[in-house]
Amino acid sequence: MPKYALVINEDKPMAVTTGEEILQRLEASGAAVLLHPAAAGRLGRPDLAAPEGPAWGEVDMLIVLGGDGTLIRAVQRVAPYGVPVLGINTGHLGFLTAMESGDALAELDRVLAGSYLLEERMMLEATVVRDGLALATMPALNDAVISKGPRARMVHLEVSVGETVVARYRADGVIVATPTGSTAYSLSAGGPVVEPTVDCLLVTPICPHTMSARSIVVGADVALAIRVAASPGEVGLSADGSDPFPLLPGDVVRVGRAPYTARLVRLPGYRFYDVLRQKLSGT
């Protein structure tokens, strides 16, 4: 018996309505379904509630209704288990999702019949090192961001690859993005668009106080480190928009490829550059 998990952005009425329809379709097909506890409450099905944990790693597919933010958070839960994730857009952009909510039921039938592809997307991990000790490791599909706090004071950051310092920034912060994240915050900060299949990381300063600072593209497996050289105010590390982990002067953030990937469900005919044009250029 196939088993699916369903995550819904309960704040979006369209996500809830479509989620109810998809749940009915899945149960009618004879599949077992797990619901995130919040979704189970919203749909009135507490009998299907399953807290995040090992049970989520045993499903055949995770179906997500919401926008890119909802999908990214869901990916972080199941990527270590290798679970495929199907995103259905009920948000604004939906750059990472596979289909729009209006097409969901018809397209879902194709997916349930096995007519889909799996796209592997690299993820990263950012580890905070203080006095030689690793304090925290944060996974991300899009990016890890070191940024200043609410005070309008710049932070001084030093970027190294291996033993070589390649850049020093006085800036509001720095973004380390995966190719997937190249179309997110990094793009807004002036970084390049990178095809998802490229094995690399992008380092992009945020509002640097210089006319010469540019993004740096490095190999995905290099020893990339960012040291907080000085900070007159608060500075923190966030991953995919998470709450920031506080950093101190002298702390080092080591960023590299995660030991697992995000497995995104794609419909036949999916092309990255078509989505790029449709979603980000308005044509």
- Judge whether 185 is annotated as a binding position: yes
- Judge whether 153 is annotated as a binding position: yes
- Judge whether 143 is annotated as a binding position: yes
- Judge whether 172 is annotated as a binding position: yes
- Judge whether 69 is annotated as a binding position: yes
Residue 279, judged by CB atoms within 10 A of its CB (0-12, 13-18, 19+), counts as middle
- Amino acid in position 228: V
- Judge whether 180 is annotated as a binding position: no
Report how far residue 221's alpha carbon sits from residue 262's, in angstroms, rounded to the nearest whole number. Answer: 17
Are 201 and 176 a contacting pair, CB within 8 Å?
yes
Produce one character per residue of 11-21: b if its CB has 16 or more CB atoms within 10 Å, e if not: ebebbbebbee
Going by the DSSP 8-state scheme, the letter that residue 113 receives in this structure is T
- Judge whether 257 is annotated as a binding position: no
Report how far residue 237's alpha carbon sits from residue 244's, in angstroms, rounded to the nearest whole number. Answer: 5
Known catalytic residues are 68
- Judge whether 47 is annotated as a binding position: no
Residue with tokens 């997500």: 64
Are 135 and 129 a contacting pair, CB within 8 Å?
yes
- Judge whether 231 is annotated as a binding position: no
Are 144 and 237 a contacting pair, CB within 8 Å?
yes
Report how far residue 88's alpha carbon sits from residue 23's, in angstroms, rounded to the nearest whole number. Answer: 13
- Judge whether 142 is annotated as a binding position: yes
Q: Which stretches of the chain are DSSP H helices?
A: 13-28, 37-42, 68-78, 104-112, 185-188, 272-280
Q: Which tokens sit at 124? A: 């990263």
First-residue to last-residue Cα distance in the chain: 43
Known binding residues for NAD(+) are 68-69, 73, 142-143, 153, 170, 172, 183-188
Binding site feature residues: 68-69, 73, 142-143, 153, 170, 172, 183-188
